[in-house]
Structure 1
Amino acid sequence: MSAPIDQLTQRPMVAFEGVTKRFGGTKGQPAFTALAGIDYIVPKGAITGIIGRSGAGKSTLIRLVNGLELPSSGKVLVDGVDVGGLDDAALRALRREVGMIFQHFNLLSSRTVRDNIALPLEIAGVDRQTIDARVKPLMDLVGLADKARRYPAELSGGQKQRVGIARALATEPQLLLSDEATSALDPETTQSILELLKTINRDLGLTVLLITHEMEVVKTIASQVAVIDRGLIVEHGRTFDVFTAPKHETTQAQLSASIGAKLPEWIRSDLKSEPAPGDRALVRLVFFGETAFQPLTARLVAELGADVNILAGAIDEIAGEPFGSLVVSYPADPVTLERASRFYQQTGLAKEVLGYGV
């Protein structure tokens, strides 16, 4: 579970306090618990990712932030305001402070790029001069200044999402919600949208809360991450810390295919949990922080002898920090294992024993 809210040193942008959400349970319908007691904070000014499998509860969680759903119990606070306690007028005012972008863009096909962006301002009753003054810089920001008179049918998927982002920013919100906003895009377009979101976060000071099942998205953009499973946040922290040393089995399962050096399945499937005579230890070495730039692999070979094989390797970047990993094997006899253990303790090199095999 996350740290108590009162341990915060500054007021968060979003705070979930004991939040549950149940659906059904009336007229003979079975009740379904989508959220089972969420305590979590979203820091102001950060990009925070919520990751989880389909059905884990992440979409319900984000819909509570702008009052599209209300909690069955507990509180959702946005910049200190209890969303569940707002009347209709106050809720409409809150939603102008909370922008949202969607997986399928939700643009109006009969309106131009300019008019789609202007829509929330028109609904809010803003005068045309103010709308014009606000919409043009937004089109410049998202790189669509030359597309003002185009219609959604004339745009690519990435361009449509840029319109959606500009529209979400039109009311000058303090918080931007992203609901699987890159899931319908190809990898290259996804990267350009993530760069745009990072620019918005940096230049406008906007807090960004995004939900996704794509590990690559969170790894690229989020400084903080929470993992949700079966309606509970099972792990959270700095993205780099969670991704490089996942503690919960759900996190480990989701990250296993996307982070670090990987073994071929034909090797992994034959691994044993305990060594037999003649077996070799297969170990993943993790390099980050102080160990990232030290020649520790060469020192390991010197310590254990020449019978150290490198089976796989990868260099990555997580939340802007370098991260590398190697999978090595060496004899699993007691003397070699003891020397290896002593080496890891002395150097601080992180390691994970994957198993034992021939």
Structure 2
Amino acid sequence: MTLPTASKDEAQSAPMVLFAGATKRFGEGDNAFVALDGVDMAVGRGAITGIIGRSGAGKSTLIRLVNGLEKATSGKVVVDGTEVGGLDETGLRTLRREVGMIFQHFNLLSSRTAFDNIALPLEIAGLDRAAIRAKVGPLLDLVGLGDKAERYPSELSGGQKQRVGIARALATSPKLLLSDEATSALDPETTQSILALLKQINAELGLTVLLITHEMEVVKTIASHVAVIDRGRIVEQGPTFGIFTAPQHETTRILLSSALGTTLPEWLRSGIKPEPAAGDRVLVRLTFFGATAFEPLTARLVTEIGGNVNILAGAIEEIAGEPFGTLVVAYPATPDVVARADRFYAETGLATEVLGYVA
């Protein structure tokens, strides 16, 4: 079933993927397992959107609804104006040519060369050999494997296998690329090279990318938008920078707790108290972004409240291409020092969070 035709401008402004009350149950009656529970989410055209969540939260089920590998029990999943649940087998085959997919474990055929693995969807589509060669050669060059066309998967590294998988996913010129934990089996250096390739493809081809991952570093590096799923529900979504720097939901906070590099050592965490006693020091996390990212505010804080300031932890990050820094400091919890610090924070717009008090 195809939705009513929209104007060109409306089509360009509409989401590439829309989940509207999408629910997926496995089983019947009281024994049914609810994998997805009324998901509402839009994936913008040309964006790289990450979906994060704990194991079993519903990430894989959600992405399988997009290409019709699973069908929603209720609600709708709309891809580029087409409701996936209303498609017959012919319609699903057409949809899947427009939705590429890359996998965690590559899913390459060991008996076929890199060239022939990439050519497979084109063979299934009925292209002749000349047309296939014209398509596969540039794809090999795009993913940096122009000299590996005749290599078999056993002769390729993990990163090279994933590059073949990406090229294969692009063979039918899809509008949407799905990534199912595509970097989880790779080492950190190779992961960064694959993420750089996906960003390049997104920029050069204008391809919408929807990825699921449990790796916060992946989302922080590549995604412009992020959605957090917990027990089958989207609990938080929005631009990656906003979600990472000011998470609102407890699940998001837990997932991101170690992602920004300011985790305190156990000996310090175990001594934090919710209320101060005489002689205690207040523990404050300072957050630097936007206009505050490049200003020497820490030095000014020391000048404002005196030299008795300890720096306990800190990190400088880049989230979705924007600078972001955090610093955990401690200073005397006396009323006059705290008042001077608070005035300084208000005047400079520095974001702060009181973590507690330590002796």
Q: Secondary structure at the match of 2:71?
A: coil
Q: Letter of the aligned partner of 2:26 in structure 1?
A: F
- Aligned: 1:25 with 2:34: no
User: 1:9, CA displacement in angstroms?
Assistant: 9.3
Deviations 1:113-164 (A, max 9, x none): 1000000011111122111110000000011111111111111100100000
What is the alpha-carbon distance in structure 2 between the residues aligned to residue 277 and residue 10 of structure 1? Answer: 59
Q: How many residues align?
A: 349
> TM-score with structure 2 length normalisation?
0.95
Rounded Cα–Cα distance in structure 1 between residues aligned with 2:336 and 2:80: 58
Correspondence for 1:234: 235
User: Equivalent residue for 2:252?
Assistant: 251
Alignment of 1:30-69 (within 5 A): 30-69=31-70
Give the drift of 1:99: 0.1
Question: Is 1:180 aligned to 2:181, yes or no?
Answer: yes
8 Å CA contact 1:20, 1:36 repeated in 2: yes
> Which residue pairs with 2:158 in the alignment?
157
Are 2:129 and 1:119 equivalent residues in the alignment?
Answer: no
* Structure 1 segments (4+ residues) deviating >6 Å: none
1:4-15 equivalences under 5 Å are 10-15=13-18
The offset of 1:261, in angstroms, is: 2.2
Correspondence 1:323-338 to 2 at 5 A: 323-338=324-339
In 1, Cα distance between the equivalents of 2:163 and 2:182?
10
- Rounded to whole Å, the distance in 2 between the matches of 1:244 and 1:260 is 12
Q: Using the alignment, how far apart are the partners of 1:9 and 1:39 within structure 2?
A: 20
Per the alignment, residue 75 of structure 1 pairs with 76
Amino acid at match of 1:238: P
Q: Which amino acid aligns with 1:86?
A: L
Contact preservation (8 Å) 1:262, 1:327: no
Amino acid at match of 2:60: S
Amino acid paired to 1:190: T
What is the TM-score of this pair, normalised by structure 1?
0.95
- CA offset digits 1:176-209 (Å, max 9, x no partner): 0000000000000000000000000000110000
What one-letter code is carried by the residue in structure 2 that aligns with 1:221? I
Paired letter, 1:346: E
List alignment gaps of at least 5 residues for structure 1. 1-7
- Matched residue of 1:110: which SS? coil
Partner of residue 110, structure 2:
109
Deviation at 1:244, TM superposition (A): 1.1
Amino acid at match of 1:21: K
The residue identity in structure 2 corresponding to 1:23 is F
Following the alignment from structure 2 to structure 1, what is the Cα–Cα distance between the partners of residues 166 and 191? 13
Q: Secondary structure at the match of 1:173?
A: coil
Corresponding residue for 1:141?
A: 142
Residue 260 (structure 1) shift: 3.8
Output the CA distance in 2 between the equivalents of 1:259 and 1:227: 17
Say which SS state the counterpart of residue 106 (structure 1) adopts.
coil
Q: What are the residue-to-residue correspondences of 1:298-337 with 2, within 5 Å?
A: 298-337=299-338
SS at match of 1:147: coil
Q: Is the 8 A contact 1:260 1:324 kept in 2?
A: no
RMSD, aligned α-carbons: 1.3
One-letter amino acid of the structure 2 residue matched with residue 20 of structure 1: T
Q: Provide the residue aligned with 1:282 in structure 2.
A: 283
For residue 5 of structure 1, what is the aligned residue in structure 2?
none
Q: What amino acid sits opposite 1:93 in the alignment?
A: T
